[in-house]
Amino acid sequence: MTAGNALLRAIHQTLTNDAALTAIVGADGIRDRLLPRAKLPCVVFGEMETRDFSTATEAGEEHLLVLEIWSDGEGRRQVQEIAGLAHSMLHDAGLALEGAALVSLLQVSMRTRREPKTKFYLGEMRFRAVTE
């Protein structure tokens, strides 16, 4: 398993094991893609970019990833509530990865907007992770 896949698996496991988050999004509300006619709210794994981050002595990778939070609520409140829960679980977390070591996992930005076509709210949480 690559470090990127191990990171995604650990994030998924952390989010799905949280009772407060699953109470909001449901048992199947954390997924790797947005399904047509998806039950909202949900958390979706968005884009991920992996770069070499090796040093002279250690192999490493930098992962830039996005968690998308989709909501059909009246405003941003539900998106921000879910983002707050995800932030508390993931920012600077010491997740155990299979076949790699997580050096750092930090949320670097958050953006919310209403999608013009669907009128759904979308929150994009951007994270930077470093693995060895």
Number of domains the chain is built from: 1
pTM: 0.93
Contacts of 16 (CB under 8 A, 6+ apart): 22, 27, 30
d(CA 30, CA 25): 7
d(CA 44, CA 66): 9
How wide is the angle at C-alpha 114 spanned by C-alphas 33 and 129, nearest 5°?
Answer: 50
Query: Using one digit for the tens of pLDDT, what is the confidence trace for 34-77?
Result: 888 889 999 999 999 999 888 888 888 999 999 999 999 878 99
Q: How far is CA 85 from CA 53, 88, 118, in A?
A: 29, 5, 25
1 falls in which pLDDT band (50, 70, 90)? low
pLDDT of residue 74: 78
In the structure encoding, which two tokens stand for residue 60, read together? 């490493």
Structural domain boundaries, residue 60: 3-93+101-131
| Concatenated DSSP letters of 54-70 | --SS---EEEEEEEEEE
d(CA 96, CA 76): 32
pLDDT of residue 31: 94
Report the CATH number at residue 124: 3.30.2000.30
